[in-house]
Amino acid sequence: MAKMKLIVGIGNPDEQYKETRHNVGFMFLDYLARKLGANDFEFDKKTNSLISKTKSEKTTVILAKLQMYVNKSGEAIKKLVTSYKLQATSLIVVHDDLDIPFGNSKLSFDKNSGGHKGIESIMRVLKTKKFYRLRIGTATRSLAKARQQSGKKRDKFVVSFVLSKFSKSESDQLKKIFKEGYEKLISVIK
């Protein structure tokens, strides 16, 4: 039987969120689609996602950019998993992570959400945490400083931080981060 992997990038669909830290999952999927020679992303109404398909050796790879807000990611992932008749273990979610310093990424399996609302939504809907995550670090010194402030001030900074765009030098550095993330992912895809 042919192997299949579903790689989902999570982010916010609206134009104003394009290229923001919270949408690094979408940005990575664009990179991955080019790297794997996938077809263009097309909107799939049934799963409310932009879908692209390709093959990596003997594995069919489905790339999906969810077209709903990060906090509601679970709803679309449930539809995708059901539509392609997959187990949660065939799922790889790519997302931003405020606990990992910018410049780094981690591939994890069966880990807690770490407070990421999109991941919490996925775990709640799938009723499991047994899926892969490529966590792309977005933490900076300014975020570390802000986290030491009181509740409302800290929360306001965090929201504006995740919805801010990458600087020019950070955007250049993303190429290296994506290349490393790709190398980590390939071991799971095969």
List for the chain the helix, strand, coil content (%; round to 5). 45, 25, 25
Looking up residue 154, the CATH number of its domain turns out to be 3.40.50.1470
User: DSSP characters for 37-99?
Assistant: TPPPPEEETTTTEEEEEEEETTEEEEEEEE-S-GGGHHHHHHHHHHHTT--GGGEEEEEEEEE
Print pLDDT tens along the chain (190 aa).
Answer: 569 999 999 999 988 989 999 899 999 999 999 999 999 999 999 999 999 999 988 899 999 999 998 889 999 999 999 999 999 999 999 999 988 999 999 999 999 998 898 999 999 999 999 999 999 999 888 777 777 777 788 888 888 888 899 999 999 999 999 999 999 999 888 7
Catalytic residue numbers? Answer: 22
Domain that residue 103 falls in:
3-189
Q: Per the structure, how many domains does the chain have?
A: 1
φ, ψ dihedrals at 97, nearest 5°: -140, 120
Q: Is 114 left (phi over 0), alpha (psi -120 to 50) or beta?
A: left
